[in-house]
Structures are given as C-alpha cells and as structure tokens.
C-alpha cells in the first residue's frame, strides 16, 4: 500500500460541483485501488468570503462550508484537510507535515499546491515525488512558454495531461520541455451506475461556463477563441434537428446577454447551473436524467489538436448516456461511432445527434462499454502510478 496525497481546488472553486467531482474521484479511485489517500487544499487568502462576498475568517467562509459539505458527501471527512494562512480550527499542521513526509506521491491537480503561496510551498517542498496533472492542455503549456507558469511545471518530477495527443504528430501544443504522460479523464464506476432507459422527451445537455475567464489563447501567430465563440458556430443547430431538444446549463454574465438571447431565440434551452446541478448529487442527477451529451470545446483544444476530452463527457458515458462532442484530435486514440460520436461542423453535429437518437438503446450500451474499457479509474490509473514509481501491492 502506497501513501498518496491529492491536492486540488474544491474550496477555491466553491459552488462548482463538476470541479469537486474531479478532485473527489481521484481520492475515491486511488483508495479503491488499495492506497492510503489524503486530500489537501490551501485556501488562498483572498478567497475566504461570506455569503455576501465580503472577506471573512476562513473557518466561517462560504469556501470552508462548501469544502466540508463536499468532503462529507463523498465520504472523505477525516481524510481531507483545508489549510489557510489563518489556520482553520480543525487543522493540525504537525499531523499534516508527518503525512506529507511519509507520502510516496503527491498528485497535484493543476499544480494547486505548488502555486498556493507560502503555505503551499511549505508543504510542496516536503514531497520527494510529485505529479502535475494538467486539465487544460494548450493553456498550461503556452502559459509556461510565456513565463506565466514556469515555477509550477518545473518543480514537479512527473507530468500528466488529459490532452491525449500531446507530443504526437499533428498536435500543435508545445511540450514546454516536458514529457507528458497521458491520463484520460476517468470515473469511479460505482459512483456512476447505468442510469436506466432515458425518457425520449428529455434533451441532450451539457454543463459549462459560458465565457472562459482567461480569454482567447494566442500562440504561434494564431488566436484560439473561447468556448462561447465555439457555441456561436452551432447556434443554429436546433433548427437543423427540430425533432430533438438541446439544453445548456451555463453561467451567463450580464455582458453575455446578447449571446443568451441569441441562443434562446435559436431554440436552445438554457438553465442555470446553480439551480439544476449546484451540488454533487444534483450534478450526477442532471447528467443521468439527460438523453446524452452534446457539447462543443474550447477553441484551443480544437485548433491545437490536443486530444482533450472532458471529465464531464466520461460521466455521461458511464451513465449509459451517449456523447456527441466536438473533435479535438482524438482520432485513433478512442473508439467512435456508437455511443461516442465526434463532429467538426454543424452538419456533422446534426448527423451525430440524429444517429444517436435513432438507436438510443444500442448507443446507451456502447457508451457504458466504452467507459468501462477506457475511462474506469481502475484501468486508467495503474499505468500512470507505475510511471511515477508507485507500484501496486503484490
């Protein structure tokens, strides 16, 4: 049995159930594989706020309450610690230091611990073996090349990315001087059982932040647009398939009113994530209550041919809900055509949705089969752990 610490943002992304699922799934899957696993997060000083958005003590903050709710729901209480510059009452730093010193591996999701200031650095420097997990292929590497993330990448001993084509022919993501291990997004299958037969009247859905807060990505003379611009390319899709319903659970800001109205007029159903999938339980229920997923991708994922795949998509597949998603360069890496369909333009998107809706039972079975073979944490993680020198028990 190896001792592993997972670090990532749950409290720092308070209210985002999808992000919470990603971090918790790492802990739950590694635990199921027989490892002794702990979760650690550093609450950034300017993130501790009350319900009105005003600064407050960390242990009274919205972020702390969210962290406690999430870790309790996932059964992680006693194995999850939130650290802040002003120590939370429940934190025993001596115990944390001992756990870190005994750890065989740090799984640092998006470089959280390495980039969390003095508190994070104090913990990070104690680890012997560290794995940076990249969830934003293209952004991470370009920011590194531009000098924005050098410390976060350079300090880790190993690096993995959900960009499954990094380092391969046809991928335009710079390697940032790093060997990237592929790690497809994965599910802990017991958390995502087959959801039964979908109601034929429910829509295809997706969950997203409408506008990427980082803006467009510029690299090698090319500007890659954000996700809201990708959705604009498919605004007229409902008119092409009037027999089907399409819904987006998206956070629209006031300056996105033009997009919101335009999408609604074009026939898209729009819902508020806080209302339909604002908790871990509701997030799962929303996915499993859908006909399947339809989603576009960030322009950088598509244009740079990174082989990116959403963690959300594999949850649809595991639930027996087919996914129709924009192609990001996954050809030859994963099975497509039944249960899992990609497209490159509006006509391809319409054709994919029609094909799935014409044979829902076959596509539902295929979706679950793909999840079991390619996106189960029991399949994905052992090769990655071996590459980091963490060997399974004999």
Question: What are residue 101's phi and psi, to 5 degrees?
Answer: -65, -30
Residue 111 main-chain phi, psi, to 5 deg: 65, 30
- Residues 276-295 have a mean pLDDT of 98
Residue 381 φ then ψ, to 5°: -80, -35
Of 67-71, 81-85, 135-139, 244-248, the range with the lowest mean pLDDT is 81-85
- Band (270; pLDDT cuts 50, 70, 90): very high
pTM of the model: 0.96
CB neighbours of residue 189 within 10 Å: 19
pLDDT of residue 381: 97
pLDDT tens for 311-359 read 999 999 999 999 999 999 998 899 999 999 999 999 999 999 999 999 9
Please provide the DSSP assignment of 183-205 as one string.
Answer: ----B-GGGS----SPPTTSPEE
3-state SS assignment for residue 102: helix
Give 179-189 pLDDT, tens digit per residue. 999 999 999 99
pLDDT value at 394 more than 70: no
CATH fold label, 3-186+377-387? Rossmann fold (3.40.50)
Alpha carbons 318 and 192: distance in angstroms, whole number: 6
pLDDT tens, residue by residue, 38-53:
999 999 878 899 999 9
Q: Is pLDDT at 150 greater than 60 in this prediction?
A: no
* b/e per residue 264-299 (b: at least 16 CB within 10 A): eeebbeebebeebbbbbeebbebbbbbbbbbbbbbb
Q: Give the start-to-end residue ranges of the domains of the chain.
A: 3-186+377-387, 190-374
In whole angstroms, what is the distance from residue 41 CA to residue 377 CA?
Answer: 22
At 89, phi and psi to the nearest 5? -60, -30
**What is the fold, at CATH topology level, of the domain defined by 190-374?**
Rossmann fold (3.40.50)
Q: Do domains 3-186+377-387 and 190-374 have the same CATH topology?
A: yes
Average pLDDT score over the chain: 94
């Amino acid at each position: 049995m190896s001792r592993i610490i997972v670090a990532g943002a749950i409290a720092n992304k308070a209210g985002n159930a999808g992000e919470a699922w990603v971090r918790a799934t790492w802990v739950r899957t590694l635990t199921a594989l027989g490892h002794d696993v702990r979760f650690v997060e550093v609450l950034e000083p300017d993130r501790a706020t009350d319900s009105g958005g005003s600064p407050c003590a960390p242990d009274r903050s919205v972020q702390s309450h969210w962290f406690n709710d999430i870790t309790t729901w996932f059964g992680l209480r006693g194995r999850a610690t939130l650290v802040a510059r002003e120590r939370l009452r429940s934190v025993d730093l001596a115990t944390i230091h001992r756990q870190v010193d005994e750890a065989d591996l740090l799984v640092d999701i998006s470089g959280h611990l390495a980039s969390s200031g003095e508190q994070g650095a104090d913990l990070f420097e104690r680890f012997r073996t560290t794995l940076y997990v990249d969830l934003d292929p293209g952004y991470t590497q370009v920011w590194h090349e531009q000098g924005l993330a050098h410390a976060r990448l350079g300090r880790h001993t190993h690096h993995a990315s959900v960009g499954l084509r990094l380092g391969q022919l046809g991928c335009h993501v710079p390697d940032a001087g790093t060997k990237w291990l592929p790690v497809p997004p994965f599910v802990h299958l017991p958390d995502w059982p087959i959801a039964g037969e979908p109601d034929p009247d429910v829509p295809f859905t997706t969950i997203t932040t409408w506008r990427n807060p980082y803006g467009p990505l510029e690299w090698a003379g090319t500007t890659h647009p954000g996700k809201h611009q990708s959705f604009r390319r498919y605004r007229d899709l409902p008119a092409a398939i009037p027999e089907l319903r399409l819904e987006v659970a998206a956070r629209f800001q006031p300056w996105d009113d033009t997009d919101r109205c335009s999408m609604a007029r074009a026939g898209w159903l729009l819902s508020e994530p806080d209302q339909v999938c604002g908790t871990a339980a509701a997030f799962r229920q929303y996915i499993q209550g859908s006909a399947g997923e339809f989603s576009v991708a960030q322009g950088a994922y598509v244009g740079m041919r990174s082989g990116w795949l959403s963690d959300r998509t594999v949850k649809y597949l595991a639930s027996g809900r087919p996914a129709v998603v924009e192609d990001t360069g996954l050809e030859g890496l994963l099975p497509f055509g039944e249960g899992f369909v990609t497209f490159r333009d509006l006509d391809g998107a319409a054709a994919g949705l029609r094909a799935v809706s014409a044979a829902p039972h076959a596509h539902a079975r295929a979706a679950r089969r793909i999840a079991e073979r390619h996106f189960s944490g029991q399949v994905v993680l052992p090769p990655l752990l071996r590459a980091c020198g963490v060997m399974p028990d004999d």
